[in-house]
């Protein structure tokens, strides 16, 4: 069973993208001071395909020289030295740069007075914390491309769930879904809580190839996700999906069978993790015994909670599949028994019964045939 | 501290400069360190640590299905999310009255062992050690580097480097041999983690009641084959770390005072023993002591308690200098624990989080972090326990307890012996971590590679148990349960960087109250309502400065080493103050000395 993901391309031919020469050098300004756990940065360091060090050290052919400014990985000394490129970019003195935002964007407007939900460095004049929102307001309009890393930054995620006190949202909610960067790109959303390491690095590498002028912009769907990564569902890549088709459902988490009845949302979630594995092909979610809780989705987490119950609609669809699945499973069971038997000619009796019938065989039909012909 | 007194005798007129590092790079979360440094007497006069992030987990968890708690709380931390999930499941299992199958506990132990190996490796070798690498030492203490070039590495036969400077070169970021190898090891060990817990950072196969991990022989073979191939690295790391840290004590007499604070260590225990643990509160003291990392509160070198019930009841959350309103006028959620002991209003079970965003004021409120403290009934003090970055408290508590006794790890009462089997290049080895003289920066850092070895050794033990269950056909990994209408639970675990507790109150089958206490609030807290500074502040405040640079080109490496030795949430590397400090005031030494005494 498949689900149409309803994806549409919006950026194959982005508005205003003129033919141009690419950049030889680009800065990546990565701010993880959103409402985040920094899990996307950590996840990114797990990628070996390509590794971040391969990109930074120039081992991937065709990319511009990359200057990465990330709190965890930057070889800069830090402090004001670390903040310097961010400050320069905000003044319009550093370009081109790709702005990567990690974490959901809090709503500062609900705070009365001088408080803040999250900050990144201080205002050099007053010494007061500079909010994440201040940085986005100053950097996003100047960025050649804007990339949202992880479900928090793309769609709000955990920190924007019902009952949250911070009014958090995703970057496109904050900047507007029709936002276009200096490079005429929409925001490039790479959802995942956290990002699947290779999904992120592959997307970033495509954006960098585009920056170098050697590739078109990455194709995105209507939720601004890379189509080739999020165009299919978890279910379509899940190695337990055949159990679903045969209406064979796990009743608890001990089972190796389809987990839809114990809380898996795989059939309706856009994500490639069961197919790709978590890192280097190892791990994943339903394929290794974890229910899909929809962590790549705009509706995450609220639409999927409580996680450990059968999804809405699951009862109906699993009832529908039951008669078909039961018949198919029975028929396949019979065939399976048949193909689990060895053919009857494998024995050590004094007769060859395999069907081979050479002319030298005295009693053989081939010999008689040959003599008749002579 | 004797060194401080010795310096006081030859005190010069103070030359105090305001210096700050905000944001601290290479960590998870937003941390700023604000200091006043007396350059005439080369020591830190004052330190404030501030965190500028509020997200509100304990607010938005309310009213949710309690079974979702592990999935949500994982997202508290982007490097040790699994520690939160595990701890949440422990708390839920208590509330639901469910004991997972023994194999499930063992799989969780294997996942957590892989997590400790991964996380401590990437932190120590890719980030902490940048502070001790050749490039850094050259720019902060050139005379020390010159000495390192002349100093033969004692453990060269194990790690293969001839001089201490050769080791330091191997730690240079992106170029050094060990730096690069550590990145690779951090990926392989994350693969081990994914085999047990599905995904890293936020695991997919952990549930309250057990795991969903398919316990096939292949699952464990895939883990084992990776484990044996990182063992050489683990053994070498211990040897290299010992050489560098011993060298620092020799090259810079008095370096033991850097980051030194009173021995006030907390460890909540890790690795459940499935033979004993039933997750019931009533038996918690017993199964807590059976853990394969022993819980304990260590004060001035003495084990005050190893009883998880005592530990639980002693937790107090103070506000002091943080951006929250108090909750003492609210109704308590829990007046007595299941054993009938009274529960304090400042205990996490009774906490209500009321965020009050406001301007940062170092004389008033300056951080989003609250101040957890442990109330010591004997001294009636609210102790600002630290975790020693995790491993120091874990090894110290385990050693003093003397309870862990497995074929691979043994606690002796004064040390922990760790036996690692033969690996590709190196023979079988027994390492011994002995209780050090100080709770300081170097010993926090030194404990880390030893704990990597500890986790690797225990992983062999857990593998043997898991394979034993699987070969015996005991492959059940999940136990069903009903969520009760009303219940309470608590979970105790060790996040990579130290103590982790989750406290849960269920009413009408929903979360009525939920409070997670990870290590960073313990370590990174601001001054509490009694004026007691948090451990980062306390360790930095009063520490000597050994860096050879003056105020104009000061980098603050000694201060950053201290902050980073606590493992402030994540791999944290070269974040240095660059540029000129703002000269604040010049004070006469008696004023300063009196205030500091």
Residue whose C-alpha is closest to residue A199's, from A296, A106, A298, A327: A296
- The alpha carbon of residue A146 is apart from the nearest alpha carbon of chain B, in Å, by 22
Tokens of A194: 């956290």
Interchain pair A71, B27: CB under 8 A: yes
Residue A76 in tokens? 């800069």
Q: Report strand pairing: B31-38 vs B43-51.
A: antiparallel
Angle at B227 between CA B221 and CA B230, to 5 degrees: 150
Q: A-contacting residues of B 9-28, CB under 8 Å?
A: 21-28
What are the distances in angstroms from CA B394 to CA A361, B27, B131, B375?
81, 22, 24, 20
Q: What residues of B are in contact with residue A71 (Cβ under 8 Å)?
A: 23, 25-27
Chain B residues within an 8 Å CB radius of A121: 22-23
Of B78, B480, B575, the CB nearest to A38: B78
CB pairs under 8 A between A and B: 257
Q: How many angstroms separate the CA of residue A87 from the nearest CA in chain B?
A: 13
Question: Would you give the end-to-end CA distance of chain B in angstroms?
Answer: 10
H or E element, residue B207: strand B206-207
- Return the pLDDT at A152: 97
Sign of the dihedral through C-alpha A178, A180, A185, A189? negative
The residue in chain A having the minimum alpha-carbon distance to the alpha carbon of residue B480 is A252
Beta pairing, strands A119-122 & A65-69 = unpaired
CB A297 within 8 A of CB A269: yes
| Token digits of residue A170 | 């995703």
Among A55, A67, A72, A192, the residue to mutate for chain B (most B Cβ within 10 A):
A72
Q: Contacts of residue A79 in chain B, CB cutoff 8 Å?
A: 21-22, 575-579
Q: How far is A57 from chain B (nearest CA, A)?
A: 9
State the pLDDT at residue B24.
81
Contacts of A291 in chain B (CB under 8 A): 204, 212
Please report the pLDDT score of residue A243 as a whole number.
96
In contact, B15 and B589? CB cutoff 8 Å: no
**CA dist., res. B556 & res. B546, Å (int):** 9
Ordered alpha helix ranges (H), B217-325: 217-251, 284-289, 308-314
Q: Rounded to an integer, what distance in angstroms lies between the CA atom of residue B53 and that of residue B34?
A: 17
User: Cβ separation of B21 and A79 shorter than 8 Å?
Assistant: yes
Tokens representing residue B370 in the block: 């609250």
C-beta atoms of A37 and B68 within 8 A:
no
Q: Give the residue ranges of chain B where pLDDT is below 50.
A: 1-7, 570-597
pLDDT in tens, chain A (374 residues): 344 444 444 444 444 445 557 999 999 999 999 899 999 999 999 999 899 888 988 999 999 999 999 887 765 555 787 899 999 999 999 999 999 999 999 999 999 888 999 999 999 999 899 999 999 999 999 999 999 999 999 999 999 999 999 999 999 999 999 999 999 999 999 999 999 999 999 999 999 999 999 999 999 999 999 999 999 999 999 999 999 999 999 999 999 999 999 999 999 999 999 999 999 999 999 999 999 999 999 999 999 999 999 998 888 888 899 999 999 999 999 999 999 999 999 999 988 899 888 777 777 777 777 778 77
Residues 48..67 of B with a Cβ closer than 8 Å to A: which? 52-56, 59-60, 62-65, 67
pTM of the model: 0.92
Mutate to test the interface with A, among B24, B34, B75, B495 (most CBs of A within 10 A): B75
Reported as type and span, the H/E element at residue B44 is strand B43-51
Instruction: Write the residue in B59, B174, B477 that is nearest to A53 by C-beta.
Output: B174
d(CA A93, CA A74): 20
- CB-CB neighbors (< 8 A) of A161 in chain B: 60, 72
3-state secondary structure of B556: coil
Q: Determine which of A30, A31, A37 to mutate to test the interface with B (most B C-beta atoms within 10 Å).
A: A37
- Nearest CB among B55, B72, B570 relative to A35 is that of B55
Nearest by CB to A159, from B55, B204, B480: name it.
B55
Judged by a CB distance cut-off of 8 A, whether residue B29 touches chain A is yes
Q: Would the CB atoms of A283 and B54 count as touching at under 8 Å?
A: no
Closest CA relative to residue B41, chosen from B6, B90, B92, B77: B6
List chain A residues with CB under 8 Å of B27.
Answer: 38, 71-72
The reply to whether residue B71 touches residue A301, judged by beta carbons under 8 angstroms, is: yes
On whether any CB of chain A is under 8 Å from the CB of B496, the answer is no
- Full DSSP string of A272-330: -HHHH-SBTTB--SGGGT-----TTSTTTTGGG-STTSPPTTHHHHHHHHHHHHHHHHH
Return the pLDDT at B486. Answer: 98
Mutate to test the interface with B, among A35, A42, A44, A259 (most CBs of B within 10 A): A42
Q: How many helices (H) and strands (E) does chain A have?
A: 12, 7
Q: Is-cis flag, bond preceding B201, omega within 30? A: yes
Looking at this predicted complex, what is its ipTM?
0.90
Q: Are A72 and B29 inside 8 Å of each other by CB?
A: no
**Of residues A37, A116, A308, nearest to B81 (C-beta):** A37
Residue A149 forms beta bridges with which residues? A102, A190
Q: How far is CA B438 from CA B212, B254, B267, B396, B524, in A?
A: 43, 12, 17, 11, 20
Residue B120 sits at the chain A interface (C-beta within 8 Å): no
- Edge-to-edge strand order for the sheet containing B302-305? B264-267, B296-299, B302-305
Q: Is B553 on the interface with A (CB under 8 A)?
A: no
d(CA B9, CA B6): 6
Which residues lie across from B296 on neighbouring strands?
B267
Selected for mutation to probe chain A from B357, B511, B568 (highest A CB count within 10 Å) is B357
Q: Which among A184, A266, A271 is positioned nearest to A226, based on CA atoms?
A: A271
What does the block give as tokens for B187? 């990926």
Chain A positions touching B56 (Cβ under 8 A) are 159, 164-166
Verify whether the Cβ–Cβ distance B575 to A79 is below 8 Å: yes
8 Å CB contact between B389 and B444: yes
Q: Which residue of B has its CA nearest to A116?
A: B357
8 Å CB contact of B191 and A279: yes
**Which pLDDT score is estimated for A317?**
87
CB atoms A121 and B355 under 8 Å: no
**Nearest CB to B78 within list A37, A285, A306:** A37
Interface of B with A in 77-106 (CB under 8 A): 77-79, 81
CB A89 within 8 A of CB A182: no
Nearest CB to A280 within list B63, B191, B205: B191
> In this complex, do A45 and B186 lie within 8 Å of one another by their Cβ atoms?
yes
> Secondary structure of chain B: what % helix, strand, coil (to 5)?
40, 20, 40
Looking at residue A13, its pLDDT comes to 47
Q: Retrieve residue A360's tokens.
A: 């030298």
Burial (Cβ within 10 Å: 0-12, 13-18, ≥19) of residue B381: middle
């Amino acid at each position: 069973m498949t689900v149409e993901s309803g994806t549409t391309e919006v950026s194959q031919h982005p508005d205003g993208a003129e033919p141009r020469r690419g950049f030889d050098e680009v800065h990546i300004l990565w701010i993880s001071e959103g409402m985040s756990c920094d899990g996307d940065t950590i996840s990114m360091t797990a990628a070996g395909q390509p590794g971040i060090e391969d990109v930074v050290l120039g081992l991937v052919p065709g990319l511009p020289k990359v200057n990465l400014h990330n709190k965890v990985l930057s070889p800069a000394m830090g402090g004001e030295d670390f903040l310097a490129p961010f400050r320069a970019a905000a003044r319009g003195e550093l370009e081109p740069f790709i702005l990567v935002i990690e974490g959901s964007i809090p709503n500062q407007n609900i705070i009365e007075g001088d408080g803040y939900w999250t900050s990144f460095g201080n205002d050099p004049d007053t010494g007061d914390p500079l909010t994440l929102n201040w940085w986005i307001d100053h950097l996003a309009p100047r960025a050649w491309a804007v990339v949202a890393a992880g479900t928090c930054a793309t769609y709000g995620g955990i920190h924007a769930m019902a009952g949250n006190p911070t009014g958090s949202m995703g970057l496109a909610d904050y900047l507007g879904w029709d936002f276009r960067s200096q490079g005429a790109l929409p925001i490039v959303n790479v959802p995942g809580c956290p990002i699947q390491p290779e999904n992120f690095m592959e997307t970033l590498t495509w954006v960098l190839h585009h920056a170098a002028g050697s590739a078109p912009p990455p194709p995105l769907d209507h939720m601004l996700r890379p189509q080739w990564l999020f165009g299919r569902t978890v279910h379509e890549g899940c190695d337990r999906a055949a159990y679903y088709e045969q209406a064979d459902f796990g009743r608890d988490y001990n089972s190796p069978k389809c987990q839809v009845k114990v809380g898996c949302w795989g059939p309706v979630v856009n994500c490639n993790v069961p197919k790709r594995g978590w890192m280097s092909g190892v791990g994943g979610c339903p394929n290794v015994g974890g229910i899909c809780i929809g962590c790549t989705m705009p509706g995450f987490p609220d639409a999927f909670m409580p996680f450990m119950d059968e999804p809405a609609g699951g009862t109906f669809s699993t009832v529908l599949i039951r008669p078909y699945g039961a018949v198919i499973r029975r028929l396949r069971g019979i065939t399976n028994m048949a193909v689990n038997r060895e053919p009857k000619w494998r024995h050590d009796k004094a007769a060859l019964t395999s069907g081979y019938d050479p002319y030298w065989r005295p009693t053989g039909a081939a010999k008689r045939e040959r003599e008749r012909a002579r | 501290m004797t060194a401080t007194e010795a310096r006081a005798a030859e005190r010069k007129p103070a030359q105090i400069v305001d210096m700050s590092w905000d944001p601290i790079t290479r960590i998870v979360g937003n941390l700023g360190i604000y200091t006043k440094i007396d350059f005439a007497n080369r020591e830190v006069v004052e330190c404030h640590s501030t965190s500028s992030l509020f997200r509100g987990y304990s607010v938005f968890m309310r009213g949710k299905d309690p079974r979702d708690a592990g999935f949500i709380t994982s997202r508290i931390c982007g490097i040790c999310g699994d520690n939160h999930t595990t701890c949440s499941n422990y708390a839920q299992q208590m509330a639901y009255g469910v004991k997972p199958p023994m194999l499930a506990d063992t799989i969780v132990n294997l996942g957590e062992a892989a997590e400790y190996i991964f996380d401590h490796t990437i932190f120590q070798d890719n980030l902490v050690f940048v502070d001790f690498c050749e490039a850094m030492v050259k720019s902060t203490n050139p005379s020390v580097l010159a000495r390192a070039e002349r100093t033969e590495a004692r453990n060269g036969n194990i790690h293969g480097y001839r001089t201490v400077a050769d080791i330091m070169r191997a730690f240079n970021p992106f170029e050094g041999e060990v730096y690069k190898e550590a990145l690779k090891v951090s990926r392989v060990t994350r693969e081990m983690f994914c085999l047990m817990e599905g995904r890293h950072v936020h695991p997919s196969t952990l549930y309250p009641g057990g795991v969903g991990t398919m316990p096939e022989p292949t699952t464990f073979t895939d883990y084992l084959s990776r484990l044996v191939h990182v063992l050489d690295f683990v053994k070498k790391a211990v040897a290299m770390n010992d050489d560098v840290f011993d060298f620092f004590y020799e090259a810079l007499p008095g370096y033991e005072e850097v980051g030194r604070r009173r021995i006030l260590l907390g460890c909540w225990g890790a690795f459940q023993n499935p033979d004993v643990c039933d997750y019931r509160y009533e038996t918690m003291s017993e199964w807590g002591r059976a853990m394969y990392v022993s819980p304990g509160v260590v004060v001035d070198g003495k084990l005050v308690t190893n009883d998880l019930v005592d530990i639980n009841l002693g937790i107090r959350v103070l506000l002091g200098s943080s951006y929250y309103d108090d909750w003492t006028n609210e109704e308590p959620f829990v007046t007595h624990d299941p054993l009938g002991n009274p529960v304090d209003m400042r205990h996490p079970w009774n906490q209500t989080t009321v965020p009050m965003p406001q301007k940062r004021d170092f004389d008033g409120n300056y951080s989003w972090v609250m101040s957890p403290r442990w109330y010591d009934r004997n001294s009636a003090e609210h102790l600002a326990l630290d975790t020693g970055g995790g491993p120091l408290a874990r090894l110290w508590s385990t050693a003093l307890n003397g309870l862990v006794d497995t074929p691979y790890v043994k606690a002796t009462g004064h040390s922990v012996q760790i036996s690692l089997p033969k690996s590709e290049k190196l023979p079988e080895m027994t390492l011994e971590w002995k209780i050090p003289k100080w709770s300081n920066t170097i010993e926090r850092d030194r404990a880390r590679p030893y704990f990597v070895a500890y986790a690797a050794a225990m992983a062999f033990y857990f593998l043997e148990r898991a394979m034993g269950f699987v070969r015996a056909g005991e492959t059940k990994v999940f136990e069903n349960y009903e969520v009760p209408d009303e219940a309470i639970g608590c979970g105790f675990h060790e996040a990579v960087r130290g103590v982790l507790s989750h406290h849960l109150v269920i009413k009408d089958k929903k979360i009525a109250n939920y409070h997670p206490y990870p290590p960073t609030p313990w370590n990174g807290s601001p001054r509490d309502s009694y004026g007691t500074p948090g451990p980062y502040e306390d360790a930095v405040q009063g520490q000597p400065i050994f860096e050879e640079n003056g105020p104009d080109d000061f980098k603050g490496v000694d201060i950053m080493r201290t902050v980073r030795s606590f493992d402030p949430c994540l791999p944290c590397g070269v974040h240095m103050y660059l540029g000129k400090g703002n000269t604040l005031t010049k004070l006469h030494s008696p004023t300063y000395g009196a205030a500091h005494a």
